[in-house]
Amino acid sequence: MSKTNRGNFFEDFKVGQVIRHATPRTITGGDQSLYTALYGSRFAVQSSDAFAKALGYAHAPIDDLLTFHIVFGKTVPDVSLNAVANLGYAGGRFLAPVFPGDTLSTVSEVIGKKENSNGKTGVVYVRSTGYTANGTEVLDYVRWVMVNKRDAASPAPDPVVPDLPAALDPQALGTAVPLLDAANWDNELSGSEFRFGDYAVGEKVDHVDGMTVEEAEHQLATRLYQNTAKVHFNQHTQADSRFGHRLVYGGHVISIARALSFNGLGNSFHIAGINGGRHVGPLAAGDTVYAWSEVLDKADIEGRSDVGALRLRLVATKNRSCADFPAKDADGKYLPEVLLDFDYWAMMPK
């Protein structure tokens, strides 16, 4: 009997199956520093103990997307080791802040699967939940991934496609943010004078800056999250793929775009929920990422006068600046330069 893990194929997943993933991961200040080195994120709450404490935090929490990536990375050996592509996200909720010293683990439930028409692959839907060592839920989200079949001749299962929300109710968000002492929010130190009331639904923001992806950086980032997907690591096998090279982990694109969004959304300090997201196109080392955002909605949070919620659409492109807000063509198809279309709720001080 083989003692090595070659990953699950489409046939191995059963709707209702619960997977407890290895390996628990204790987060350190070093992880946060490395995350900052990789993406240059500048949001003040996650950067400064002094800034965070003045608002009411015990100390600076780690970046929300670092939490996401680590919780996600736990799932890869069981869910997407044999993936063709990670297709999308929905219903993601950041439920509690994570601090250095917390240990994260992940449990997933298979909530749907459907074979593709080519008979060689299928789509698997999983809901993954991240916990601290004391059982506190810090994050849950749904993702769907295209996975290879072990045997193309195996019969197709009855399709099960979960009903997913188009958007989260903002009133159910914000639990990861303590009641802030908003009088101590310093616009000069946060890097932006614009707060919740300064943004309008329909407004678009070009984040202006670009970030070129280096081979070493995206490899290092994916190792940081213990994401073992072959498509990101193994050039020997990926040389024979349709792309001819390793692909950058889609979460790396999300983190780059989020970091770029600081220029224009510097006070959107916390990602509260992920309504949906699509990895539209592949990214490779040497490409340069740009980003723009659109305000899709605004919401006051019941019982909170300190923060409001902005629903933001974050679009990332490769090798194309975003002054003209590129997205789709006249036929509704994504332009070839578009990498990411990400819909999320962010908290911003009033």
User: Cα(345)–Cα(298) distance, rounded to whole angstroms?
Assistant: 9
Question: Residue 239 has what pLDDT?
Answer: 75
Lowest-confidence range among 32-41, 83-92, 109-118, 149-158?
83-92
User: Cα(208)–Cα(260) distance, rounded to whole angstroms?
Assistant: 8
Is 231 domain-assigned?
yes
The count of domains in the chain is 1
Is 163 domain-assigned?
no
Question: Residue 84 has what pLDDT?
Answer: 84
Question: Residue 235 has what pLDDT?
Answer: 72
Is 162 domain-assigned?
no
How does residue 211 score in pLDDT terms, banded at 50, 70 and 90? Answer: very high
Q: What is the pLDDT of residues 51-106, one digit of tens each?
A: 999 999 999 999 999 999 999 999 999 999 888 888 899 999 999 999 999 999 99
pTM of the model: 0.95
Note whether 308 and 301 are within 8 A (CB): yes
Which pairs with CB-CB distance under 8 Å and at least 24 residues apart come from 43-47? 43/262, 43/266, 43/268, 43/269, 44/189, 44/190, 44/191, 44/269, 45/269, 45/270, 46/269
Is 165 domain-assigned?
no
- Supply the range of the domain harboring residue 281: 10-152+176-349
Residue 253 host element (H or E): helix 250-260
The domain spanning residue 252 has which CATH number? 3.10.129.10
Is 82 domain-assigned?
yes
Is 159 domain-assigned?
no
Is 213 strand, coil or helix?
Answer: coil
Q: What is the pLDDT of residues 318-334, one digit of tens each?
A: 999 999 999 999 999 99
pLDDT top residue among 235 and 103: 103
Lowest-confidence range among 80-89, 187-196, 236-245?
236-245
Is 158 domain-assigned?
no
Is 48 domain-assigned?
yes
Q: What is the pLDDT of residues 111-140, one digit of tens each?
A: 999 999 999 999 999 999 999 999 999 999
Closest by CA to 166, choosing from 294, 301, 292, 273, is 273
